[in-house]
């Protein structure tokens, strides 16, 4: 079931989204060679707590997971695509870092992710991150009233495939509201004109995950959460929570 949100509910979702944006900005500002992923997790935890919000990922356990998620952020490094659990690993020169964060404020959720490099970047990583950001922007631009979920999915997938990148088939975006994961699901590849119609009040997270090698295969780590590319090539992730409004898409997790 898809629950459309009222303008006042969208305003509340915007405030939750702002907390997530601030947490991601703080993590990015602190991320550097030698900094551990647990330190980054603590920074996000502090920003979220100081805003009077609650981390959405901590203890989250979908039916598909064997264990509750044990941290505030996901920190997915190099060949990790998404859902990397922060450890005492210290960032190394040239690492490709994807950080995903979620927070609940006054009962409403925001969910967003960014990718960046630390130290001296590999040119191929910068190209992959730029394509992922472009895929996200294309998906957001397609989220207008009158369009369909398939138009958003096609916009994302077209950017990825044109540049030769892989896509994880059964992972993508989702509705957002009081819960982090609501209907509908928002695939990262699809057919224009298919799927549910986008109406003002629909709030969704759009989250392209692109694989450098162009292959789509991935595996789950022994930790039960981290998804890695099967061929060891690098991956990038970008995500915003957005609202469909009469005047077009509104990014709720912008800084
Ligand atoms: N953006 C991620 C997603 O929608 C956030 C979930 S991370 C989890 O899958 F650890 F909480 F599951
Ligand atoms: Co998400």
Partners of residue 173 on adjacent β-strands? 186
C-alpha triplet 81, 82, 85: angle, nearest 5°: 120
For residue 1, tell me if it sits in a domain.
no
3-state secondary structure of 199: coil
CATH code for the domain in which residue 39 is found: 3.90.230.10
What is the bridge-based pairing of β-strands 173-175 and 203-206? antiparallel
3-state secondary structure of 54: strand
- What is the b/e burial string over 153-169, where b = at least 16 CB atoms within 10 angstroms of the residue's CB? bbbbbbbbeebebbbbe
pLDDT at 64: 87
Q: Whose CA is nearest to atom 6 of ligand 1?
A: 57
Q: Which of 161, 229, 150 is CA-nearest to residue 185?
A: 150
For residue 72, tell me if it sits in a domain.
yes
Which residue in this structure is represented by tokens 């992959």? 128
For residue 79, tell me if it sits in a domain.
yes
For residue 13, tell me if it sits in a domain.
yes
Q: What tens digit of pLDDT does each residue of 152-175 get?
A: 999 999 999 999 999 998 999 999
Atom of ligand 1 nearest to the CA of 180: 4
Q: Which of 19, 3, 40 is CA-nearest to residue 253?
A: 19
Atom of ligand 1 nearest to the CA of 112: 1
In eight-state DSSP terms, residue 177 is S
Q: What tens digit of pLDDT does each residue of 169-214 get?
A: 899 999 999 999 999 999 999 999 999 999 999 999 999 999 999 9
For residue 211, tell me if it sits in a domain.
yes
Q: Which domain holds residue 225?
A: 7-251
Q: What tens digit of pLDDT does each residue of 77-104 get?
A: 999 999 999 999 999 999 999 999 999 9
For residue 34, tell me if it sits in a domain.
yes
H/E run at residue 50: helix 37-50
For residue 2, tell me if it sits in a domain.
no
Expressed in angstroms and rounded, the spacing between residue 83 Cα and the centre of ligand 1 is 6
pLDDT averaged over every residue in the chain: 98
Ligand 1 lining (C-beta closer than 6 Å): 57, 60, 69, 74, 83, 100, 102, 111, 113, 174, 207, 239
For residue 116, tell me if it sits in a domain.
yes
CA–CA dist 28, 44 (Å, integer): 10
- Considering every ligand atom shown, identify the ligand nearest to the alpha carbon of residue 205 and give its number: 2
Expressed in angstroms and rounded, the spacing between residue 57 Cα and the centre of ligand 1 is 6
pLDDT at 193: 98
Q: Whose CA is nearest to atom 2 of ligand 1?
A: 100
Q: What is the CA radius of gyration of the chain?
A: 17
- Give the number of domains in the chain: 1
Atom of ligand 1 nearest to the CA of 171: 9
Q: What tens digit of pLDDT does each residue of 208-254 get?
A: 999 999 999 999 999 999 999 999 999 999 999 999 999 999 999 99
Atom of ligand 1 nearest to the CA of 71: 10
CA–CA dist 93, 251 (Å, integer): 32
């Amino acid at each position: 079931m898809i629950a459309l949100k009222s303008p006042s509910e969208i305003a509340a979702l915007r405030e939750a989204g702002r907390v997530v944006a601030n947490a991601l900005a703080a993590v990015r500002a602190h991320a550097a060679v030698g900094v551990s992923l647990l330190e980054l997790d603590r920074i996000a935890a502090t920003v979220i707590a100081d805003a009077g919000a609650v981390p959405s990922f901590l203890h989250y356990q979908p039916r598909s997971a064997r264990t509750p998620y044990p941290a505030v952020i996901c920190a997915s490094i190099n060949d990790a695509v998404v859902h990397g659990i922060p450890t005492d690993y210290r960032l190394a020169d040239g690492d490709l870092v994807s950080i995903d964060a979620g927070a609940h404020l006054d009962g409403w959720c925001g969910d967003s992710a960014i990718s960046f490099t630390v130290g001296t970047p590999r040119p191929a990583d910068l190209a992959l991150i730029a394509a992922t950001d472009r895929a996200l922007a294309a998906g957001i631009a397609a989220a207008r009233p009158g369009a369909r979920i398939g138009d958003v999915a096609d916009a994302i997938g077209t950017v990825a495939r044109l540049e030769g990148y892989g896509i994880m088939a059964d992972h993508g975006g989702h509705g957002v509201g009081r819960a982090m994961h609501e209907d509908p699901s928002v695939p990262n590849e699809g057919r224009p004109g298919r799927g549910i119609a986008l109406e003002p009040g629909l709030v969704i997270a759009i989250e392209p995950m692109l694989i450098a090698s162009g292959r789509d295969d991935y595996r789950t780590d022994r930790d039960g959460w981290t998804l890695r590319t099967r061929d060891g090539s690098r991956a990038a992730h970008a995500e915003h929570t957005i609202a469909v409004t009469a005047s077009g898409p509104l990014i709720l997790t912008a800084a």
